[in-house]
Amino acid sequence: MLIQMIPEIGHFALVVAMLMAAVQAVMPLAGAALRRPLWMAFARPMAAGQFLFVVIAYLCLTASYLFDDFTVANVANNSNSMLPWYYKLSAVWGNHEGSVLLWSLMLAGWSYMAARFSRDLPRDMVARVLGVMGLVGVGFLAFVLVTSNPFDRLLPNAPSDGADLNPLLQDIGLILHPPMLYMGYVGFSVVFAFAIAALLGGRLDAAWTRWARPWTNLAWAFLTVGIALGSWWAYYELGWGGWWFWDPVENASLLPWLTGTALMHSLAVTEKRGSFKSWTVLLAIFTFSLSLLGTFLVRSGVLTSVHAFANDPSRGFFILVLLGITVGLSLLIFALRAPRVSHQVGFNWLSRDALLLINNILLVIMTVTVLMGTVYPLLLDALDLGKISVGPPYFNALFVPLTVIMSIFMGLGPVSRWKRMDGRELVKRLWLSGVAAVVIAAVMPFIIGGEWNLWVALGLVTALWIVLPLVRDLFDKTRNAPTRLAGLKKLSLAHWGMVLGHLGLAVTIVGVAVVSNFAIERNVRMSPGDSVSVAGYTFTMRDLTSRRGPNYIGEGAEFEVRRGDSQRSFFMNPEKRTYIARGMPMSQVALRPGLFRDLYLAMGEDLGDGSWAMRVQYKPFVRWLWLGALLMAAGGALAVADRRYRRLATAKDPEKAVEVRTAGEAPA
Amino acid sequence: MKRRLLLMLPLLGFLVLMLFLYLGLGLNPFHRESKLVQDARAFPAFELSTLEDPERRVDESLIKGEVTLVNVWGEWCPECKREMPQLLDLAERGIRLVGVNWKDTREKGLGFLDEFGDPFVVNVFDPDGELAFELGVYGAPESFLVDADGVIRYHHTGYISPSDLRDTILPEVEKWQ
């Protein structure tokens, strides 16, 4: 009986969560405006309650999947009794309704975390931050309940089995990619809420930025991992060997990443130097707005993409209204409350301040470039000016030079001083790095690819120019320490975070440059016994196989691969699967990953007469793309662990602190 | 006051973007009539070589004389693979199909036809997207139905499903025959 009621319990929990979010939004914001401590005290318990009930709703939907309750439309459309249990868990968010529920879950989660780790903040600041997050929560929970209820039933005509999860999504990449991406998207809601709270409270000082920085870094780290996972997943799952398609949805995740990167740096300037105050607030608003815009673009179907699950205009309209209210209101508040008089702290044009400003401007230009390329076809169409296709050539033509220019300043930034930097000293510190970068980059293409390539060399110069000055700087910083190691240990975690982050970007740049220019692809027709040679590896098809998986039939090939004349060989087994419930074919790529090269085998079509079309690819340095992203994310996370923030977070026992505050405030 | 107005700029920019997104909601990226079709314009002029033979140059006269379905495709386009059975079906019914191999290489394009079948009488090789640009192609696959006078009469955006074939393509061909 209770099991049959699970979807209703989940639905009810969602309604309760939305009501709690509404209270979380209204009472604290009103309390902060009218100076009523009792009203403000609603913020924390409501944030906890909202989170609890969204968790209940989410668990209910998960239970419906695990129990194969095909009377629930969402389960019937996206699951199947033969689907392995772990894919049933991830199928929960592999569809429109479930993914919006996951979005809401994460928002409630971040909101709860913000409530827990904000004990040292002024009461009205906490009230405003949680109030703003509550408002966003109301919007998204209403979106779920009104247009995208995951608990809708298919009664009385429930199917006996489900339509199965889209085979593309039956993969570890999908299990991890959306939650990571959403953690990033939604995580920016915290810094957004801080910015709005600072504007509302009229206290646009450096204090809020110190609070917002760890949250921003954490969200950014999640987003970085999320984007990298998406790229990695596309690489091996789509069977084309591509790792970035400039697909509207990929762009949608890149946009908040770019402004988020600018925001991290701008927050640093505001905290350290008290300048760029309005700009930092604006970036915080932009970053979360672009997260929302990304959600809109994916969920409304205004742009065609591999990610567009459903194309329902009512959903698009709802989320557009949500976007309009959230962003419109915040920008209005910004326009009205941002400080009228700019009392900028002076700085020289050669200083870390100025370099960070340039970095910010470049990142914003990149954002605009990607945004324009993404929505341009839509704009032209709406104006009835005809259609145009914006593809990779547009993005590459603008994005690559912008990245190179930005890297030039990235080399200078970390080694220069705040306020003003002596040009001669900068040259003295950097000339060796510059020369070394050019020399190494000029030689490396021969070693990596056996031939000279301008683009690879350019990529390497860029990467080395980012890294070498940092290394040099580490030497300078440890010069006066008793031992080098002791000197390195004295550097703050935040500094190491920066070093790691920049190193990560350099690693990614190397990956992009090499794999884009030195990758080899061969499409060949093969039958057992045939061989093909690619980049010094010989691929010999030994056998064709056939097998039955849990919910698919697989036709595979066994390849023996040998490098040069080596005695040792290894086997690779690409497979072509036909998923039974949907009758959909899927290519299961065989990968031999390596730090310096990937071998990539994908089965094409059965050509009859016992031969198959095979796609054989050699992908040098492709792993560096994602390795770099992981380093960047690790850098972001490391900076969060810096002592300055930890002191704030663990000043008191969290449980007690919450209780004491709540109890203490209630009688007032 | 001046600075206050400056601070309004992000809001104004955003409102403009919202307007377009709202308009965009009403436009379906699939199945929307292209401007070419609304004006019943002639098939754009072009001069390109064929996929099959680099030496053979073709121009817009290739499309005239008979009702022709022009299909823009590429080896890199997974949806194009899915619509090949429908195109082969059309060819079997005696309808003239001309392919435009878009942003592709000769080797890949020909490999695709070997793999999935070739319903086209000839394929125009358009590696730089010159013709596709003139046609206003947004993404592959797209198909244009051109009448005997070389006037574009119907534009299909996206993949032609078996039901599209039955419900729209065949009646349209009938209409302009």
Q: Are A165 and A79 within 8 A, CB to CB?
A: yes
Q: Which residue has the tokens 């969060």?
A: A640
Encoded tokens for A17:
């969560």
The pLDDT tens digits for B42-77 are 788 888 999 988 888 888 888 888 889 999 998 877
**Window from A273-287, A383-397, A434-448 with minimum mean pLDDT:** A383-397
Q: Please judge whether B14 and A328 are an interchain contact, meaning their C-beta atoms are less than 8 angstroms apart.
A: yes
Answer yes or no: do A389 and B138 touch at CB < 8 A. yes
Which residues of chain A lie closer than 8 angstroms to B10, CB-CB? 282, 285-286, 331, 334-335
Determine the Cα–Cα distance for residues A592 and A615; give it in Å rounded to an integer. Answer: 14
- d(CA B110, CA B101) in angstroms, rounded, equals 9
Q: pLDDT confidence of A395, banded at 50, 70, 90?
A: confident
Q: What does the pLDDT average to over B108-119?
A: 88
Q: What DSSP character marks residue B168?
A: I
pLDDT mean over A454-478 = 91
**Residue B142 DSSP one-character state:** E
Q: Which residues pair with A113 in a beta bridge?
A: none
Task: Verify whether the Cβ–Cβ distance B29 to A304 is below 8 Å.
Answer: yes
Average pLDDT of the residues of chain B: 82
Of A404, A631, A624, the C-alpha closest to A498 is: A631
* CA of B170 vs chain A CAs: smallest distance (Å): 25
Per-residue pLDDT tens for A17-73? 999 999 999 999 999 999 899 999 999 999 999 999 999 999 999 999 999 989 998
CA-wise closest residue to A511 among A501, A500, A502, A519: A519
What is the three-class DSSP state of A648?
helix
Per-residue model confidence (pLDDT) at position A386: 61
Read off the DSSP letter of residue B167. Answer: I
Query: Is beta strand A584-588 parallel, antiparallel or unpaired with respect to A520-526?
Result: unpaired
A120 versus A293: which is more confidently predicted? A293
Measured in degrees and rounded to the nearest 5, phi and psi for residue A618 equal: -120, 120
Q: What's residue A664's pLDDT?
A: 34
Tell me the domains of chain B and their CATH numbers: 31-176 (3.40.30.10)
Of A33-47, A270-284, A388-402, the least confident:
A388-402
* A566-576: pLDDT as tens digits: 888 999 999 98
Test B115 with A605 for CB contact under 8 angstroms.
yes
Q: Is the pLDDT of residue A254 over 90?
A: yes
Distances (CA, A) of A133 to A24, A139, A179, A222: 8, 10, 19, 19
Find the mean pLDDT for residues A379-402.
Answer: 76
Please say whether the beta carbons of A214 and A645 come within 8 A: yes
A324 contacts in chain B (CB < 8 Å): 18
d(CA A497, CA A633): 9
First to last CA, chain A: 45
The helices-and-strands tally (H runs, E runs) of chain B is 7, 7
pLDDT value at residue B97: 93
CB contact under 8 A, A391 and B103: yes
Phi–psi pair at A117, nearest 5 degrees: -100, 40
Comparing C-alpha atoms, which of A611, A618, A616, A591 is closest to residue A530? A611
Whole-angstrom distance, CA of residue A312 vs CA of residue A314 = 6
> Which structure tokens are listed for B119?
């319903």
Nearest to A245 by CA among A391, A455, A397: A391
**Strand bridging mode B68-73 / B96-102:** parallel
Give the pair of three-digit tokens for residue B166: 């039955």
CA distance B45 to B69: 16
Cβ of A387 and B14 within 8 Å? no
Residue whose pair of structure tokens reads 């955006």 in the numeric block: B157
pLDDT tens sequence across A528-543: 989 999 988 999 999 8
Token digits of residue A241: 């060997």
Candidates B114, B63, B110, B120; CA nearest to B87 is: B120
- Cβ distance A381 to B27 less than 8 Å, yes or no, reads yes
Question: Do the chains contact at A613 and B111, CB–CB below 8 Å?
Answer: yes
What pLDDT is recorded for position B82? Answer: 82
Nearest to B24 among A302, A327, A332 (CB): A302
> Would the ipTM clear 0.90, i.e. be above it?
no
**Contact across the interface for A302 and B34, Cβ inside 8 Å:** no
Contact residues, chain A, for B30 at CB < 8 Å: 304
| CB-based contact B22 A320, cutoff 8 Å | yes
Rounded to whole angstroms, the Cα distance separating A210 from A646 reads 12
Question: Average pLDDT for residues A240-257, to the nearest whole number?
Answer: 86
CA A209 to mean position of chain CA atoms: 22
Contact A64, A75 (CB under 8 A): yes
- Give SS3 for A143: helix
Q: Can you give the pLDDT at residue B77?
A: 78
In Å, how far from its chain's centre is CA B159? Answer: 10
Tell me which residue in A316, A386, A607 faces B35 most closely, judged by beta carbons: A386
Tell me the C-alpha distance between B4 and B11, whole Å: 12
**Rg (alpha carbons) of chain A, rounded to whole number:** 27
CB-CB under 8 Å, A301 with B7: no
Q: Is A120 left (phi over 0), alpha (psi -120 to 50) or beta?
A: alpha
User: What tokens were used for B131?
Assistant: 């013709």
B interface mutation test: which of A196, A387, A603 has the most B CBs within 10 A? A387
Of B4, B21, B28, the CB nearest to A320: B21
Q: Do residue A389 and residue B133 have CB atoms under 8 angstroms apart?
A: yes
> What confidence category does residue A482 fall into, taking pLDDT thresholds of 50, 70 and 90?
confident
- A303 contacts in B (CB within 8 Å)? 29
Three-state SS at A552: strand
Q: In this model, does residue A308 exceed pLDDT 60?
A: no
Q: How far is CA A121 from CA A126, A339, A667, in A?
A: 6, 22, 20
Under an 8 A CB cutoff, do A387 and B35 touch? yes
Contacts of B158 in chain A (CB under 8 A): 304
Q: Which residues of A touch B2 (CB under 8 A)?
A: none
Q: How confident is the model at residue A477 (pLDDT cuts 50, 70, 90)?
A: confident
Range with the poorest average pLDDT among A225-229, A417-421, A658-662, B25-29: A658-662
Given a contact cutoff of 8 angstroms between Cβ atoms, the answer to whether A603 and A576 are in contact is yes
Within 10 A of A566 (CB to CB), how many other CB atoms are there? 11
* Residue A5: how many other CB atoms lie within 10 Å: 12
Q: Determine how many CB atoms are found less than 10 A away from the CB of residue B100.
A: 28
Structure confidence at residue A342 as a pLDDT band (50, 70, 90): low
How many angstroms separate the CA atoms of A400 and A441, rounded? Answer: 17
Distance CA A442, CA A430 (A): 18
Query: Does the distance separating the beta carbons of A289 and B14 come in below 8 Å?
Result: yes
Q: How far is B29 from chain A (nearest CA, A)?
A: 6
pLDDT tier at A650, thresholds 50, 70, 90: very low
Shortest distance, CA B123 to any CA of chain A (angstroms)? 20
Q: Which of B20, B22, B108 sits opposite A375 (nearest CB)?
A: B20
Best CA proximity match to A499, nearest among A488, A483, A513: A488
Residues of A in contact with B152 (CB under 8 A): none
CA–CA separation, A407 vs A405, rounded Å? 5
Q: Does A606 touch chain B (CB under 8 A)?
A: no
Q: Which residue has the tokens 């009621």?
A: A5
CATH architecture of A520-623: Sandwich (2.60)
Distance in angstroms (rounded) separating the CA atoms of residues A544 and A631: 40
Chain B: closest CA distance from residue A607 (Å): 7
Q: Which of residues 491-530 of A touch B (CB under 8 A)?
A: 523, 525
Q: What is the pLDDT of residues B30-49, one digit of tens each?
A: 443 444 444 467 788 888 99
State which H helix or E strand residue A259 sits in.
helix A248-273
User: Measured over all CA atoms, what is the biggest interatomic distance in chain B, rounded to whole angstroms?
Assistant: 72
Closest CA to B108 of B81, B136, B138: B81
pLDDT at A196 over 90: yes
Interface test with B, best of A288, A296, A331 (most B CBs within 10 A): A331
Domain boundary assignment for chain A: 1-170, 179-388, 395-519+627-635, 520-623
* Average of per-residue pLDDT across B130-147: 81
